[in-house]
Structure 1
Amino acid sequence: MTHRRAVALMVLVTLLWSVAGVVTRHLDAARSFEVTFWRSAFNALALVVALGWLRGPALWSGLVHGGRAVWISGVCWAVMYTAFMVALTLTSVANVLVTMALSPVLTALFSRLFLGHVLPLRSWLAIVVAGGGIAWMFGTQAGEGASLLGSLVAFAVPLAGAINLTVLQHAGADPTKTQDMLPAVLIGALLSACATLPLAWPFEASSHDLGLLALLGMVQLAVPCLLMVRLSRELPAPEIALLALLEVVFGVAWAWLGAGEQPSASVLLGGGLVLLALVANESLALRQTRQAGCALTAAQRGD
């Protein structure tokens, strides 16, 4: 897979992830832990079908004998699934997404500490600029009385995401060992559904709600999460986390257009900085790739 195709697929992943907030705002009766349960349950159902088709009977042995990395990743997925939806019930979509955008900083630190990855200067600069935009949005919203509890719950998402990406990169670092990490996505969905089931009872979701939650579980979670696991073999963890910031921009835009949650000027300014950092980083990466390709071609021709 080329770098350009991997980046394009990661953008698609963020686009699919970003619809959660606006869809949640159109639920009739389902709230809090019931929303989380149904989304995780439908996610698990879709993953059982998809992974059962891809892996066959080996899927279940992979769950049982997957090893420590698979289960750590599964727990991380469960935390992300659960904390994200609970946070959406406590504060605005923009505030949740802004808090989640701390992921690149955490991922870069974890990759440097635990994997020894050396980031190019352009990526560090992009992280600093994007982090500045996030800090501006967060500080202004906190000053306006945004829910700090919702932000604290949402913080579990980038923290678990950074750990998960580090584990995925570590599992794929040894080319002699092919560690199947796809079952971890299913483990996360099952753990999240089981943990929230007692808190979700009694159910109040309408048939309309169940349709929307099935859409979230299957399209907003199952498909992009499987894609992200695959892309962890193609892109460095910090770059994946940096590209994932597009979810902030997409998610705020969807909530504005589809649910009437108009973002403040601070959110628009901070989101603009995030988008600028991403475009600059990926443009420089593409330029360096082209220059390296031209140099290699010239060397092969003996120029």
Structure 2
Amino acid sequence: MRAGTPGYGTGILLVLGATVGWSLAGMFVRFLPGLDGWQINCWRGFWMSVFLLAYLVAIYGNQTLAKFRAIPLPALIIVAGFFTAGSTLYVTSLTLAGTATVSVIGALSPIFAGLLSPWLTREKPSLASWMAAIMAVVGVGIIAWDGFSAGNVVGILVALVVPFSFSVQTMMLRRYRAFDMVPAICAGGFATFLLAGAMGYVFGGHPGGGFQVGIHDVLLLALMGPLQLSVPLIWYAKGAKAVPAVTLTLVAMLDVVLNPFWSWLGVGEVPAHAAFVGGFIIVSAVLISIFGDRWLNGRRARAA
């Protein structure tokens, strides 16, 4: 194992920590009732990248630019591009299809990772990983069933790009784990700032596009960007050095369970019964993904 590479257990803990951070999005959005998705995505991406750039300067100093250049150009473009696409098109998909539809389609990221990882990361998902991925999709489907809206074909096609983007981004972090990929994510955040800001003109109807945000909200987003994106993404990138791509995407699916949990804990919104059933299935899927292969390998070793 390379120096500085976390072990499997540490990698899992880092990805779990990243997922907890991502799941705080709903709580932050509650404090920004006057903003639409373009404005939030625009400035959240900006502050995320400002923090990441400060982080890189703090640990690398005058070698920061060299860390950007060290990443192979295709990897830099793919990670930054798919981060931007996933972040921006998620907002777009919500304007074209129902939230429940987008949530169910988002659960396909482990399936995409399983299908693409043999080519992109040279990792062949195990039977346990496939079982867990399918269970996760079923769990999200149960949670979303009560409010399911079919949406339209365009909305569904746009929504499909979101889990595809997340899975490709994850696999690139995994494939190029010999490099610090945080600079690529940093570039993606600045690209998101520009793209979401510009699309705010077209879809948001604001004179200033997604850039049009009051000082109070900008300051709140300056807190949201680092806590809900920057730190979790640093942890996720580090965890990707030790955890297979399918397991990475499955652990991230816990966001579907944690998001309503924080609302329940923070403002007393009691989830529907389906949320408990679906949440149990998702948690079970994640546990199978984390421990299933090791348990099966242990059984085989003892039998041998």
What is the distance in 1 between the residues matched to 2:84 and 2:288? 33
1:183 aligns with 2:191: no
Q: Structure 1 30/280 Cα, relative in aligned 2: closer, same or farther at 3 Å?
A: same
1:167-215 per-position Cα deviation (integer Å, ceiling 9, x unaligned): 222223xxxxx43322111111011011122344255534442233122
**What value does the CA root-mean-square deviation take over the aligned residues?**
3.1
Paired residue for 2:168, among 115, 138, 163? 163
Contact 1:97–1:251, Cα closer than 8 Å, also in 2: no
Q: By how many angstroms is 1:47 displaced?
A: 1.0
Q: Structure 1 83/264 Cα, relative in aligned 2: closer, same or farther at 3 Å?
A: farther
Hey, what does 1:299 align to over in structure 2?
Answer: none
After alignment, is 16-25 or 76-85 more displaced?
Answer: 76-85
Give the aligned residue type for 1:46.
Answer: F
Q: Structure 1 19/161 Cα, relative in aligned 2: closer, same or farther at 3 Å?
A: same
Hey, what does 1:36 align to over in structure 2?
Answer: 41
Paired residue for 1:216, among 224, 232, 249? 224
What is the distance in 2 between the residues matched to 1:222 and 1:50? 9
Q: By how many angstroms is 1:107 displaced?
A: 0.6
Hey, what does 2:86 align to over in structure 1?
Answer: 80
Contact 2:129–2:288, Cα closer than 8 Å, also in 1: no
1:200-257 per-position Cα deviation (integer Å, ceiling 9, x unaligned): 4255534442233122211111111111111111011111111111111101222444
Paired residue for 1:225, among 233, 236, 261? 233
Hey, what does 1:193 align to over in structure 2?
Answer: 193
1:17 aligns with 2:22: yes
What is the distance in 2 between the residues matched to 1:39 and 1:168? 21
Hey, what does 1:175 align to over in structure 2?
Answer: none
What is the distance in 2 between the residues matched to 1:44 and 1:246? 24
Contact 1:41–1:217, Cα closer than 8 Å, also in 2: yes
Hey, what does 1:298 align to over in structure 2?
Answer: none
How many residue pairs align between the two structures?
288
1:70-105 per-position Cα deviation (integer Å, ceiling 9, x unaligned): 111111111233234555677787665443222111
Contact 2:47–2:221, Cα closer than 8 Å, also in 1: yes
Task: Give 5+ residue unaligned stretches, structure 2.
Answer: 1-5, 201-207
Task: Give 5+ residue unaligned stretches, structure 1.
Answer: 173-177, 296-303
What is the distance in 2 between the residues matched to 1:137 and 1:28? 25
What is the distance in 2 between the residues matched to 1:185 and 1:261? 34
Aligned runs of 1:60-75 on 2, under 5 Å?
Answer: 60-63=65-68, 66=71, 67-75=73-81
1:266 aligns with 2:274: yes
Q: Structure 1 289/211 Cα, relative in aligned 2: closer, same or farther at 3 Å?
A: farther
Give the aligned residue type for 2:287.
Answer: V
What is the distance in 1 between the residues matched to 2:269 and 2:218? 23
Contact 1:21–1:93, Cα closer than 8 Å, also in 2: no
What is the distance in 1 between the residues matched to 2:96 and 2:44? 17
After alignment, is 264-273 or 226-235 more displaced?
Answer: 264-273
Give the aligned residue type for 1:230.
Answer: K
* SS of alignment partner, residue 42 of structure 1: helix
